[in-house]
Structure 1
Amino acid sequence: MNETTAARCPASAATRPTPSDEPQLRPADVADTAAPEAPVADWVDPTALQEDPYPTYRRLRAEAPIAWVPRLNRYLVTSYTACKAMEDDPESPRAGTENIIRSLGGVPMIAKTGAEHAAERAAVNPALRPKCMQDVWEPVFTRNAHLYLDVLSGIGPERADLYRDYAVPLAARNLADLLGMRDVPAEQLARWSKAFISEMANGGKDPDVSRRAAEAGAEADAVLDDLVPGLRRRPDDSVISVLAAKGMGVPEIRHNVKLIVSGGVNEPQHALTTLFWALDGSPEQRAEVLAEPRLWRTAFDEAIRMVAPIGMIPKTLEQDTVLDGVRLRAGRDVGLMISAANRDPEWFPAPDTFDLHRPKVAHLAFGAGAHMCAGLWAARWSVGQIAVPLLYERHPDVRIDPSRRSRWAGWFFRGMTECPITWTETR
């Protein structure tokens, strides 16, 4: 079912079943000689995934929740329990490092495990905690939202596009300030982010995509080389300053900042349009959220459960592994299909609906375990507490314009790429 046609009324308050045998992730050994190989799903069509991945995910969950997909050259894991098992396991294989290293020019924390990962994660966490969001960054995010709402209003209700004119530049400006790259234009940071994530999905196949990622990386490195020494001398609350204060070297700062840039624009920009889309299609629930501000966080989490901005978490198997009784071969890539797991009906009743009151189950849109997204509070705060509420405050009857085309795209990364909106002008 495509997002534009999905039923978005509240689901029943059914309680999810509790499976008797939770999937386990463990190295294969002699006792696993009878473990079956993953079924081959040679019918999976990457073009269909790009347009609307959810029918494919439903079929995979029903027929082969762990499957080898030749056209993607990787295993796809589509059940909630199996995805969560691999994310939660402290010995889980590292993220698909080859594409990440190619895109970012080095090994960031997401591609590391154990003590090495823990040390770099501990360095970045203080800058991204909820109290820091509230005390330091809420005024900055609010100022930026008003700035781009002025731009949006100036474009007018006949031409405005929520994605192009608000979500993208606002996400980029917020991230530039949060990182400490205050002199980097929002459009430049957005271009870097698009270049990095495009190369992660590209895997070096298209030389033009690789070239754009390399150029973006060189630009980012030059900015960081100028910025870090000054922040070591005059620290502030920015992420780069915190990393420098924790003793992280310039090469490690480069790799990790580019990692943050890759997700830190992409995820909030798509979360913003997805949350608006979900509320636009559910007038009664929209009225409920607007009347009760404490529901904004619930609405944000339910929206990104339905359409996770990062649809797949890549892994690379370093040894033969058994997951939920299925044998996975060393050296092969795995895709944890978060977008599929978050619509697993065993855990999320009526999963294709937007429901503020569904039984609470932790979705996987931010991942889980040690590699859970460090920027989750920044996204929740900037989008769910500020950007979308202020949009409705400025234009109370803002809505998707049915006379112009809306468009969704992607499966590795998914979101609206065209979101035309309109509203009633007040005089």
Structure 2
Amino acid sequence: MQHEPSTAPYEEITHEAAPHTELATLPTSRPAGCPFDPPAELATLRAQTPLRRMRFPDGHLGWLATSHAAVRAVLADRRFSSRYELLHLPVPGAPEGGLPPAPIGDLTGIDAPEHTRYRRLLMGKFTVRRMRALTSRVEEITAECLDAMERRGPSVDLVAAFAHPVPALMICELLGVPEADREDFQRTAAGMSDPEATLEQMMESLTSLTERVHALVPAKRAHPTDDLLSDLTTTDLTDEELAGIGSFLLAAGLDTTANMLGLGTFALLRNPPQAAALRAEPELADQAVEELLRYLTITHTGFRAALEDVELEGQLIRAGETVTLSVQAANRDPERFPDPDALDLRRSTTGHMAFGHGIHQCLGQQLARVEMRVAFPALFTRFPTLRLACPPEEVPLRTDQSIYGVHRLPVTWDR
């Protein structure tokens, strides 16, 4: 794909800007015609200085980290907190008075010792061995979705037909949602990210799903089955904690994997040689998944608040200051990944931070990997003539969301 320069207005930074110029805003506009690339200004900032002062919409003066080394250092340093109530957000529309504390069971917004307690209980449930044991079930679900696509085709919205159902059904499997309830559960989950739904309707879907998880907990205590929630009923977690963790895993595992499958398919369709390589060499699946994770970095931005004064990259970050972490810029850092703007399924991606880093690294990353390792090769093998059913510039992108991706991906193929 040709990389075109961004035409978005950006007053604070140019290639000649002073390295310590204060940013007036977080760069968010992606280059025209390149939906898979981060905002071009991030690369300029990274080349000038990896840690830059930035003004937040609420007036807070914090920082923006853009290099692989700087982002990794903050994520690994326990002097930085991920507690929501300590953070300032670099985007307009944050709640007045700041964010509320994380709800019970939300591991991303808490620190030790509470985070340590939850994570220790969950780590044994998300081992590589256990997730790989789910591979056969992922293969069955993937095949069922592809069969349904073939019956419905030859033109479908890949998000609705494939990218969303695969992780949704696997989350049902993981949490132990009864078979009779899974279709309704999946339909409600789809409502959380429906681009045509109002905010009120999306919140209603989220509330409905949370209530369903809450209802599962006493049922699992009374009649445990072979699933994650049943396993956790043997711990000292309360019903409220179990329901909170279940809801957190649902939200964290569904939206991310669904958007990786949707946006990843879009990226491969726009890079035919890479798609052909995956189709011809299914053994490339492991490397392909890691490269797509790095290249796309759909969880593009993170945040940490300094609990004490910390010196980093020659700068003094004061206690209480928020550091915005551009994970997408870090994963495109040429100091870490040669020719980082190229999608290369054969490259070594060791050290990418698409799943984060440090104590908050994604717990469900092994399940996500299993789903993608199965789904991508299966999709491109079943439909070797798969292609976009609309001009690429008409694919609706999730440009205003914390998880990047596509709202819809119209595709077609030859019968």
Q: What SS does the corresponding residue of 1:383 show, helix, strand or coil?
A: helix
Q: Deviations over 1:91-149 (max 9, x none)?
A: 432243578975964362222223322221121223222222232x2233222222322
**Higher relative CO (CA 8 A, sep ≥ 6), structure 1 or 2?**
1
Matched, 1:70 2:68: no
CA distance in 2, matches of 1:407, 1:6: 19
CA, structure 1 residues 419+325, in 2 after alignment: closer, same or farther (shift >3 Å)? same
Q: Does structure 2 retain, via aligned residues, the 8 Å contact 1:103–1:214?
A: no
Residue 156 (structure 1) shift:
1.6
The verdict on how the C-alpha distance between 1:389 and 1:224 changes in structure 2, with shifts beyond 3 A counting, is: same
Q: How does 1:113-192 map to 2 (within 5 A)?
A: 113-135=111-133, 137-157=134-154, 159-182=155-178, 183-184=181-182, 185-192=185-192
CA deviation profile, 1:166-221 (whole Å, cap 9, x unmatched): 112322222122222342521212334x49xxxxxxxxxxxx84x66764554344
CA contact (8 A) 2:30 2:39 kept: no
Q: Distance in 2 between matches of 1:331 and 1:156?
A: 54
* Structure 1: runs of 5+ lacking an equivalent: 8-36, 196-207
Query: Are 2:399 and 1:413 aligned?
Result: no
CA contact (8 A) 1:300 1:380 kept: yes
Residue 377 of structure 1 aligns to a residue in which SS? helix
CA contact (8 A) 1:217 1:258 kept: no
Query: How does 1:45-64 map onto structure 2 within 5 Å?
Result: 45-46=27-28, 53-64=38-49
Could you say which residue in structure 2 is the equivalent of 1:15? none
Distance in 2 (alpha carbons) for counterparts of 1:93 and 1:403: 43
Q: Kindly indicate whether the alpha-carbon contact (under 8 Å) linking 1:97 and 1:316 is maintained by their aligned counterparts in 2.
A: no
Distance 1:132-1:362 versus aligned 2 partners, 3 A rule = same
Amino acid across the alignment from 2:137: V
| Cα distance change on mapping 1:415 and 1:6 into 2, 3 Å | farther
Q: Which runs of 5+ in 2 are unaligned?
A: 5-18, 87-94
Q: Give distance in 2, aligned partners of 1:294 and 1:394.
A: 16
- Residue 267 of structure 2 is aligned to residue 282 of structure 1: no
- Equivalent residue, structure 2, for 1:232: 221
* Counterpart contact for 1:127–1:237, Cα < 8 Å: no
Check 1:236–1:127 CA distance in 2 against 1; reply closer, same or farther (3 A cut).
farther
The amino acid of 1:417's aligned partner reads H
Letter in 2 for 1:375: G
Distance 2:3 2:162 in 1: 25
Question: What is the deviation of 1:371?
Answer: 1.1
Residue equivalent to 2:252: 263
Q: What letter is aligned with 2:22?
A: V
The CA deviation at 1:359 is 4.0
- The aligned amino acid for 2:106 is P
Once residues 103 and 318 of structure 1 are traced to their aligned partners in structure 2, the CA distance between those partners, rounded to angstroms, is 16
2:51–2:65: 8 Å Cα contact kept in structure 1?
Answer: yes
CA contact (8 A) 2:291 2:349 kept: no
Of 63-72 and 235-244, deviating more is: 63-72
Does structure 1 conserve the Cα–Cα contact (< 8 Å) formed by 2:84 and 2:100?
A: no
Secondary structure at the residue paired with 1:408? coil
Residue of structure 2 equivalent to 1:96: 84
Q: 1:170 to 1:268 in 2, by over 3 A?
A: same
Match of 1:109 among 93, 107, 110: 107
Matches within 5 A, 1:203-222: 209=199, 215-216=204-205, 218-222=207-211
Alignment counterpart, residue 414 of structure 2, candidates 394, 402, 424 = 424
Q: Which moved more, 1:402-411 or 1:271-280?
A: 402-411
Supply the distance in 2 between the matched residues of 1:262 and 1:188 (Cα, whole angstroms).
Answer: 12
CA RMSD of aligned residues (A): 3.0
With 249-258 and 38-47 compared, the bigger mean Cα shift is at: 38-47
Partner Cα separation in structure 1 for residue 101 and residue 25 of structure 2:
29
**CA separation in 2, counterparts of 1:65 and 1:87?**
15
Residue type of the partner of 1:153? E
1:264 partner SS: helix
Following superposition, the deviation at residue 71 of structure 1 comes to: 4.7
The Cα of 1:422 is off from its aligned counterpart by 1.5
Instruction: Give the partner amino acid of 1:133.
Output: M
The 3-state SS of whatever aligns with 1:348 is coil
Amino acid at match of 1:172: A
Question: 2:25 & 2:76 partners in 1: Cα distance?
Answer: 30
Q: Give the whole-Å Cα distance in 1 for the aligned partners of 2:205 and 2:222.
A: 27
Q: Contact conserved, 2:256 with 2:298, CA < 8 A, in 1?
A: yes
Name the structure 2 match of 1:13.
Answer: none
Task: Output the CA distance in 1 between the equivalents of 2:349 and 2:207.
Answer: 44
CA distance in structure 1 between the partners assigned to 2:290 and 2:46 by the alignment: 23
Matched, 1:392 2:389: no
Structure 1 segments, 4+ long, off by >6 Å, are 49-52, 98-101
Residue range with higher mean Cα deviation, 50-59 or 118-127: 50-59
Separation in 2, partners of 1:373, 1:43: 28
The sequence identity of aligned pairs, in percent, is 26
Q: What secondary structure is seen at the aligned counterpart in 2 of 1:106?
A: coil
SS across alignment from 1:409:
coil
Give, in whole Å, the separation in 2 of the partners of 1:212 and 1:286.
Answer: 37
| SS at 1:181 equivalent | coil
Aligned partner letter, 1:329: R
Distance in 1 separating the partners of 2:77 and 2:101? 26
